[in-house]
Every structure is written in C-alpha cells, then in structure tokens.
Structure 1
Amino acid sequence: MTLSHLSSRAVRFALACLVAVPPLAAAAGDLYRAQNGLDITATGAGAFAVERSGGAGPRETWCAASDYAARRLGARGAARLYLAEGAGARGPVHFTLTAPADGGTRLGQGGNYSVRLDLAGFHMSQIHAEALCRLREDDPPWIL
C-alpha cells in the first residue's frame, strides 16, 4: 500500500463518520443557512426562525424550514412543522415542532389550500414542506 492510498482511505473513513453522526439539537442562537440560501436561527428546543430575504415567499420559507428541521433537528417525513406565531409581510417566521394546545390548522382544513405564514398553528409535514423546494425541473436541486 502506498501513502497516498492510505491517505485516501483515511479521508473516506473520516467523511463516512461525519455523515453517520445523527443531527444534534441546535443551541439557541445557532445560525444555519438552508440550501435555498435563507438563514435560520435556533430559538429554543425544537424552535427556530427563518429570516426571509430576497423576496422569499411562503414556499421558500417552508422549504427552508423543512431543510432545517430535517438536517439540524432530525425531524423528517411525517414530523409536523408548526408556525409558532403568525408572520407579517416582513421579518422572521417562527416555527416549532411542538403542536399548539388546539392542534393547529392543517393545509386544506376549511377548504383553504394556500401555503400560509400568517396563521399561528398552521402546520404541514416535513416531507410536504420539502416538496415545496423544487417547483420546476430547472430549479436548483434543494431537495434534501
């Protein structure tokens, strides 16, 4: 075996170890950049805020929330993402993994299928929010 062969094997092993490590709960104040470029800040246990920028709307915001939930909090698939509070036209959007006492409002409830940012307790699954990341074939591959 050559030294370069050993170095290559060591690098591959180190990368495999990094990928195999499960996500850890983020500490409050930790900054994360989602794959679609939006910044996310941990605000507490299972809670975070997505900073909207560059004209990001509901789809981009939920996409970023799904990225953070999956990669940083380990919440994937059917795990629910909830709006912790209704958001205005500007500023951060606060999410949580904890259901509100009344269970919240799901997509399609009451016949409304709009992706919302303005209704506290509005929720969808992580996988549904992830599906909002790529809308057309020529979009960047933000899918997790």
Structure 2
Amino acid sequence: MKTLFLPAALAVVTQATLASGATPDFVSNRVNINQVNANVFEAIPRGATNTDRIWCAASEYAVRRLGADWRQSLYVERGYGRSVTTGRPTSVQFTLDPKDTGLAPRESGFSFQAGANVSIQLANTRCAEIPFRMD
C-alpha cells in the first residue's frame, strides 16, 4: 500500500512545484532570473549577494535568453522590492525597452533606482569580479 502512495504523492508535489514557478527561467551565480511580462524580467538573489552578481546575471539573461545586443542598454525598471514571481523579499526588475514600460531613463550608473541604466557590455564586466560557478 505504501509503495503505491509514494509515487502518486511525489507526482503531485512535482506538479505543484512546477505550477508555482519554483523553477527559474535562468540562473547565473546564485541569482535567479524570471520573466515578469513581455517587457520586464527580475533578478532574484539567493541568499546574501552583492550588487555585482545582480548586474552580471541580468546582462547574461539579456544576451543569452532575450537575444539582446551587447551595446544595448539595460534599465532598472524597479529597484529593490519583493519578487512578483516568487515572493522572495529581494529582487530587482529590469527592462531593455523603457518606452514600452513607461519608464523615464535616468543617468547612467550601477544604482538600483528606477531608470538607471548601463550598456549590457558594461554590466557584464561585473561578472569578471565574481568567481564563476555553475549553479
């Protein structure tokens, strides 16, 4: 009786986990990336992390998953806040096209204030400071 129950319970838990969005769209250096909508994605650090990891992961996602050009700008859509895709307490949202989201671009720089922006190539230089590891 127990042997029949275990596989069924495991299947239910697996489906519930996948339905809840527990699997990130992309992972880079302990930062999960999830697409929020067609124009916005969020970087969700796992555990304590520095800002370099967030910029690095966002740049990697923009190029590898969204097909962005290295010269394109990466904009902070929303600074630190609760993740809308996972509920975790810390995330930063990014966009590649501020016109589509109504975002007013600000000065360039690595701050997490809405509108702050840098080129994807410059954001990717933050990866050089991080020892690379596959998650």
TM-score, normalised relative to structure 2: 0.66
Distance 1:120 1:126 in 2: 16
The answer for unaligned runs of 5 or more in structure 2 is 1-20, 83-88
Q: Give 3-state SS (helix, strand or coil) of 2:41's partner.
A: strand
Give how far 1:54 is off.
Answer: 2.2
Return the structure number with greater helix share: 2
- Where relative contact order (Cα < 8 A, 6+ residues apart) is larger, the structure is 2
1:82 to 75, 84, 87: 75
Change (3 A) 1:50 1:101: closer
The answer for unaligned runs of 5 or more in structure 1 is 1-28, 108-114
Distance 2:133 2:121 in 1: 15
Q: Identity of aligned pairs, percent?
A: 30
Give how far 1:35 is off.
Answer: 2.9
Match of 1:51 in 2: 44
Q: Give 3-state SS (helix, strand or coil) of 2:57's partner.
A: helix
Distance 1:140 1:31 in 2: 19
TM-score, normalised relative to structure 1: 0.62
Change (3 A) 1:88 1:42: closer
Structure 1 ranges of 4+ moved more than 4 A: none
- How many residue pairs get aligned? The number is 104
Match of 2:116 in 1: 122
